[in-house]
Amino acid sequence: MADASPEQRIFLDERCHEDCHTFREVHRLQQFNSACAHDGSHRIEQFWRDIHARCIIYAADQLQTCLPTDLRARVEERVVVEPGVGTPRSVYPDIRVVERGRERPTASDLAPLPVLTEPLILYVDDEPATQSSIEIIDVGSGRRVVTVIEILRLANKLPGEGQAQYRKKQRELCDGHVNLVEIDLLRAGERVLAVGASRIPAPYRTQYQVCIYRAATTRPCYAIYRVSLREHLPVLRLPLRATDADVPLDLQAILDQCYRNGGYDEDIDYRVAPEPPLEDDDARWADTVLRQAGRRTTAD
């Protein structure tokens, strides 16, 4: 490309996807961006923390079956500071069990209570969250990190300390000649991929994006995957060492597994428009698919 530097080029990964107008395809629009428009960013993070954790584990499991025998896919955690949204933030548990659908008891259901003494309320200071990523390490060479896979969270995409930490890690990995896989399935927030947005041709500036910095080549480059709402998520080609063949990572299979195992079919109100809003063509397409699946009616 004309604007590519002598050291790097953008490799545009041309992929042919089948246009599948089914209910199964449209769950990405609600589940993985903002299942409820009314609660904004807080609602996105409420769903995405669970989805993110599942994606990391399922992706690591999928990759390990494809790796050479001397490489390992390991889940790593780091502390991140997430921007506060609305009320004071609470500690994020490792596992949370929630109960749905029970009505609150009425006053008549409760036994009389004595007069309560009101305490002084002191809020707990904000506590950092942890963010997981996948590192592929070479156990035969001192556990050298070969490839890092990042699934972006909202904290990475909003201005603040969380984004600054991510940018710092991004620079360190690229400067250290480590392959970096960035998967962005959130439409909210800024674009923070390693490659500058101005270098990506318009047809590849999709609302969802995948960028792979391929360091283990004679001439390092960025592989950009075009990710469309109306198409299957791509099977990525992940780089390892210079002597290794690429290994596949099936994003659609991972997110389908998240959807099934997380019970999101019961949690998502498909009558509600997503936030941020879809582009007009995508919104009409999604509405048609949801109506055909019986998840929306003419009254919605």
**Per-domain residue ranges for the chain?**
9-82+127-292
Higher pLDDT, 298 or 99: 298
Query: What per-residue confidence (pLDDT) applies to 125?
Result: 55
Contacts of 197 (CB under 8 A, 6+ apart): 191, 205
Q: How many CB atoms lie within 10 A of CB 215?
A: 19
Judge whether residue 209 has pLDDT over 50: yes
Confidence bin at 140 (pLDDT 50/70/90)? confident
Mean pLDDT, the chain, integer = 76
The region of weakest confidence among 21-35, 111-125, 180-194 is 21-35
Contacts of 125 (CB under 8 A, 6+ apart): none
Higher pLDDT, 249 or 187: 249
Higher pLDDT, 30 or 273: 273
For the record, the structure tokens of 284 come out as: 């009409």
Q: Give the full edge-to-edge strand order of the sheet including 179-184.
A: 9-12, 221-227, 208-214, 179-184, 144-151, 129-138, 71-80
- Taking each helix axis from N to C end, the angle separating 23-31 and 251-261, rounded to the nearest 10 degrees, works out to 80
| C-alpha torsion angle, residues 19, 283, 209, 247 (rounded to 10) | -30
How far, in Å, CA of 180 to CA of 61, rounded? Answer: 18
Higher pLDDT, 119 or 172: 172
Give mean pLDDT, residues 172-200: 92
Give mean pLDDT, residues 82-87: 42
Give mean pLDDT, residues 187-203: 91
Give mean pLDDT, residues 156-178: 92
Judge whether residue 44 has pLDDT over 80: no
Q: What are phi and psi of 123, to 5 degrees?
A: -75, 145
Judge whether residue 94 has pLDDT over 50: no
Higher pLDDT, 176 or 98: 176
Query: What per-residue confidence (pLDDT) applies to 109?
Result: 53
How far, in Å, CA of 55 to CA of 258, rounded? Answer: 7
Q: Are strands 208-214 and 221-227 parallel, antiparallel or unpaired?
A: antiparallel
Confidence bin at 79 (pLDDT 50/70/90)? low
Higher pLDDT, 101 or 135: 135
For the record, the structure tokens of 58 come out as: 């399922």
pTM greater than the 0.85 cutoff: no
Give mean pLDDT, residues 51-77: 93
Higher pLDDT, 220 or 5: 220
Higher pLDDT, 221 or 94: 221
Percent of the chain with pLDDT over 90: 42
User: CB of 54 within 8 A of CB of 256?
Assistant: no
pLDDT in tens, 217-274: 888 999 999 898 888 899 999 999 999 999 999 999 999 999 899 888 888 888 888 8
Confidence bin at 216 (pLDDT 50/70/90)? confident
For the chain, what is the HEC assignment?
CCCCCCCCEEEECCCCCCECCCHHHHHHHHHCCCCCHHHHHHHHHHHHHHHHHHHHHHHHHHHHCCCCCCEEEEEEEEEECCCCCCCCCCCCCCCCCCCCCCCCCCHHHCCCCCCCCCCCCCCCCCCCEEEEEEEEEECCCCCEEEEEEEECCHHHHCCCHHHHHHHHHHHHHHHCCCEEEEEECCCCCCCCCCCCHHHCCHHHCCCEEEEEEECCCCCCEEEEEEECCCECCCEEEECCCCCCCCEEEEHHHHHHHHHHHCCHHHHCCCCCCCCCCCCHHHHHHHHHHHHHCCCCCCCC
Judge whether residue 9 has pLDDT over 80: no
